[in-house]
């Protein structure tokens, strides 16, 4: 069964999500990847204000292609999440409730999700043209100089995702591979 | 023809501008149109995939790739580093500019006009400022007989490239050592390289040529076996081993971890057995043109 969920993610929704669930996510998500995370972490360590309020929000590890004229965004699939692992716990401590990317997270990030009640979703890597069709608008929030790595506020409508890590410590990658492993 | 006689040949002139035009077209086409055999292979494997999630992922990937081709949009947002292979006939003279400038001009135009992502930073370690036009390209040039000029563009995404590796093995490691290294690299890559993968393996040569062989292996038509039957059999064996890992589409569990394993090999030192694994995602973009 595919569930519809909406951002910002409230506690009840988060508690109901289990690794392996398929969801269609709607609402606002913020794009940020390596360079933007580095800047956000620097602001936090200097005690400065962030360019957007993290509370209850979802960050998508997406660096889109440029939007063709008339489109809100170009192709917009996920990048490898582990590169953001060094920053993820710090952001969860400040209210981040969801992350969208691809690939496994470090144990530290997984523990952080249990502790701070946040979830990690996988989008389908290499299906960026299709994902772009679920983005209804995109607006620059910060760091335009980073080009594809700028922070953008996206409105998404029914973005298809898999819950990989829930707040109970389960991991879809581990479970899925264990089920089909034959060596 | 006796020793000392000189044969005069007239070089064929190729204009630098034509090289730039060709590159610009290749950038856009390679990022939007998957090789037909990739689609056919994914279709064939989708019906055999044991995992329901895996089948769904493969169906989504197929839908994405058809949409990308139909609307001429990049199939993936990571439109890569522009990796360019040039086979330059020794009887060709390039006029109206130099080869490197022509290639980079083509890449610059292709990535701009095709609305492709610019994913290159000028300095790898310190300021990491985006060059803004996806140049410089990575260029590998080979001088070949004749008066042709073949250009192959293989845009390379970061996710799969980051999960690639080189091992300088000892000859005693043999087939078993190579098998273990290749399978371990795919396991280690897990979901990061966006399975189902194309696995390029380079065996032999030396420290710098084994990775290049692995990258060239990715240019082969999917599923076309190595002409040497021993290597062809090894490719089939590795493909089976990789697909038993259970990673499946996107690493979410399943039986379709790789679409193909391709090996390229070369002579090497008596002391060496270099082995490189270069991974590509299911898109495995590449396209050629001969001027």
Note the pLDDT tens digit of each residue in B175-209: 999 999 999 999 999 999 999 999 999 999 999 99
* Tens-place pLDDT, residues B115-135: 999 999 999 999 999 999 999
For A114-118, B134-138, B238-242, B280-284, which range has the lowest pLDDT when averaged over its residues?
A: B280-284
Number of domains present in the structure of chain A: 1
For residues B226-248, average pLDDT: 98
pLDDT at position B9, please? Answer: 74
Nearest CA to B222 out of B32, B23, B30, B34 is that of: B34
Contact A43, A72 (CB under 8 A): no
**Chain A: residue nearest B163 by CA?**
A80
**Domain of A11, in residue numbers:** 2-182
Contacts of A176 in chain B (CB under 8 A): 51, 53, 246, 248, 251-254
Q: State pLDDT tens for residues A129-151.
A: 999 999 999 999 999 999 999 99
Residue B107 CB contacts under 8 Å (≥ 6 apart), including other chains: B23, B24, B27, B82, B84, B133, B134, B135, B137
Mean pLDDT for chain B overall: 96
Task: Tell if the CB–CB gap between B248 and A176 is shorter than 8 Å.
Answer: yes
Average pLDDT for B151-168: 97
CB contacts of A129 in chain B (<8 Å) are 64-65, 67-68, 71, 73-76
> With 80 as the cut, is the pLDDT of residue B2 above it?
no
Domain locations in chain B as residue ranges? 12-31+75-156, 158-285
Local confidence band at B48 (pLDDT 50, 70, 90 cut-offs) = very high
- What is the DSSP code (8-state) at residue A103? S
Q: Find, among A64, A59, A57, A73, the residue nearest to A9 by Cα.
A: A57
Distance from CA of A71 to the nearest CA of B (A): 11
> In chain A, what residues touch B283 (CB-CB under 8 Å)?
126
pLDDT at B223: 84
Residue identified by tokens 């090894």 is B234
CA distance B244 to B241: 5
For residue A16, give the CATH number of its domain: 3.20.130.10
Backbone angles phi, psi at B38, to 5 degrees: -65, -45
**Domain B12-31+75-156 in this protein, CATH class:** alpha beta
Which residue among B64, B68, B253 places its CB closest to the CB of A176?
Answer: B253
Q: Which of B233, B235, B241 is nearest to B257 (CA)?
A: B241
Measured over the CA atoms of residue B19, residue B22, residue B23 and residue B24, the dihedral's sign is positive
Task: In whole angstroms, give the CA distance from residue A130 to residue B75.
Answer: 8
pLDDT of residue B213 exceeding 90? yes
Q: Do B159 and A182 touch (CB under 8 A)?
A: no
Q: What is the mean pLDDT of residues B89-115?
A: 98
C-alpha distances in Å from residue A22, one per residue of A140, B52, B242: 29, 12, 26
Q: Which residues of A touch B241 (CB under 8 A)?
A: 183
In the structure encoding, which two tokens stand for residue B221, read together?
A: 């038509």
**Residue A69: its pLDDT value, please?**
95
pLDDT at residue B16 is higher than 60: yes
**β-strand A58-60 against A22-31: which pairing, if any?**
parallel
CB B259 within 8 A of CB B265: no
List CB contacts (< 8 A) between B53 and chain A.
20, 22, 162, 176
Q: How many CB pairs under 8 A join A and B?
A: 170
Q: Cβ contact (<8 Å) for B117 and A66?
A: yes
How far apart CA B261 and CA B202 sit, in angstroms, is 11
pLDDT of res. B5 = 63
Hey, are the CB atoms on A80 and B67 less than 8 Å from each other? no
Does ipTM top 0.85? yes
Mark yes or no for CB contact B71/A62 under 8 Å.
Answer: no
**Quick one: which H or E segment has residue A37?**
helix A34-45
Find, in chain A, the residue whose alpha carbon is nearest to that of B69: A129
| Residue range A63-75, pLDDT digits in tens | 999 999 999 999 9
Contact: B253, A178; criterion CB under 8 Å:
yes
DSSP assignment of B88-155: EETTEEEESS-HHHHHHHHHHHHHHHTT-----BS-SSS---B-SS-PSPEEEEEEESSS-EEEEEEE
Q: Which residues contact B121 (CB under 8 A, 6 or more apart)?
A: B128, B129, B130, B131
Q: Is the pLDDT of residue B34 over 50?
A: yes
CA R_g for chain A: 16
Confidence class of residue B3 from pLDDT cuts 50, 70 and 90? low
In the three-class reduction of DSSP (H, G, I as helix; E, B as strand; rest coil), residue B56 is classed as: helix
Determine contact, residues B134/B82, Cβ cutoff 8 Å: yes
A45 by DSSP, 3-state: which? Answer: helix
Active site members of A: 37
Gap between the Cα atoms of B257 and B244, Å rounded: 8
Query: What whole-number distance in Å separates Cα of residue B251 and Cα of residue B194?
Result: 7
pLDDT at B1: 44
Helices (H) and strands (E) in chain A, counts: 6, 7
Give whole-number Cα distances, B284 to B137, B153, B181, in Å.
Answer: 18, 11, 22
pLDDT given at position B10: 84
Decide if B185 contacts B247 (C-beta within 8 A). Answer: no
What does pTM read for this prediction?
0.95
């Amino acid at each position: 069964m595919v569930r519809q969920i909406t951002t910002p993610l409230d506690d009840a929704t988060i508690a109901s999500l289990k690794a392996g669930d398929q969801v269609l996510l709607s609402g606002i998500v913020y794009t940020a990847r390596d360079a933007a995370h580095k800047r956000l972490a620097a602001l936090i360590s200097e005690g400065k204000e962030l360019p957007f309020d993290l509370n209850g929000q979802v960050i998508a590890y997406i660096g889109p292609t440029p939007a063709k004229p008339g489109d809100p965004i170009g192709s917009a699939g996920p990048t490898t999440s582990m590169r953001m692992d060094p920053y993820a716990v710090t952001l969860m401590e400040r209210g981040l409730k969801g992350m969208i990317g691809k690939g496994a997270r470090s144990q530290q990030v997984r523990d952080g999700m249990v502790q701070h009640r946040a979830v990690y979703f996988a989008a389908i890597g290499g299906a960026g043209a299709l994902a772009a069709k679920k983005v209804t608008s995109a607006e620059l929030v910060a760091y335009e100089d980073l080009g594809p790595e700028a922070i953008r506020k996206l409105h998404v409508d029914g973005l298809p995702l898999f819950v990989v890590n829930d707040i109970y410590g389960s991991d879809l990658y581990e479970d899925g591979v264990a089920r089909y492993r034959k060596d | 023809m006796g020793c000392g006689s000189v044969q005069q040949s007239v070089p064929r002139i190729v204009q630098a501008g034509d090289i730039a035009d060709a590159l610009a077209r290749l950038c856009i086409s390679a990022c939007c149109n998957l090789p037909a055999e990739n689609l056919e292979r994914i279709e064939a494997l989708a019906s055999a995939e044991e995992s329901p999630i895996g089948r769904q992922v493969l169906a989504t990937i197929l839908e994405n790739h058809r949409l990308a081709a139909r609307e001429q949009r990049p199939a993936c947002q990571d439109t890569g580093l522009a990796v360019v292979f040039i086979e330059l006939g020794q009887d060709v003279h390039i006029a109206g500019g130099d080869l490197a400038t022509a290639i980079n001009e083509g890449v610059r135009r292709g990535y701009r006009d095709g609305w492709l992502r610019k994913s290159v930073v000028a300095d790898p370690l310190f300021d990491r400022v985006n060059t803004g036009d996806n140049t410089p390209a990575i260029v590998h040039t080979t001088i070949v007989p004749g008066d042709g000029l073949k250009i192959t563009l293989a845009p390379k995404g970061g996710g799969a490239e980051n999960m690639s590796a080189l091992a300088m093995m000892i000859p005693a490691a043999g087939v078993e050592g190579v098998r273990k290294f290749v399978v371990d690299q795919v396991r280690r890559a897990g979901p990061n390289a966006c399975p189902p993968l194309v696995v390029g393996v380079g065996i032999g040569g030396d420290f710098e040529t084994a990775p290049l062989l692995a990258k060239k292996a990715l240019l082969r038509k999917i599923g076309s076996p190595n002409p040497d039957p021993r290597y062809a059999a090894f490719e089939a064996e590795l493909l089976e081993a990789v697909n038993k890992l259970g990673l499946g589409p996107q690493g979410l569990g399943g039986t379709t971890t790789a679409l193909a394993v391709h090996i390229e090999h070369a002579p090497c030192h008596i002391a060496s057995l270099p082995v490189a694994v270069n991974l590509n995602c299911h898109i495995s973009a590449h396209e050629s043109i001969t001027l």
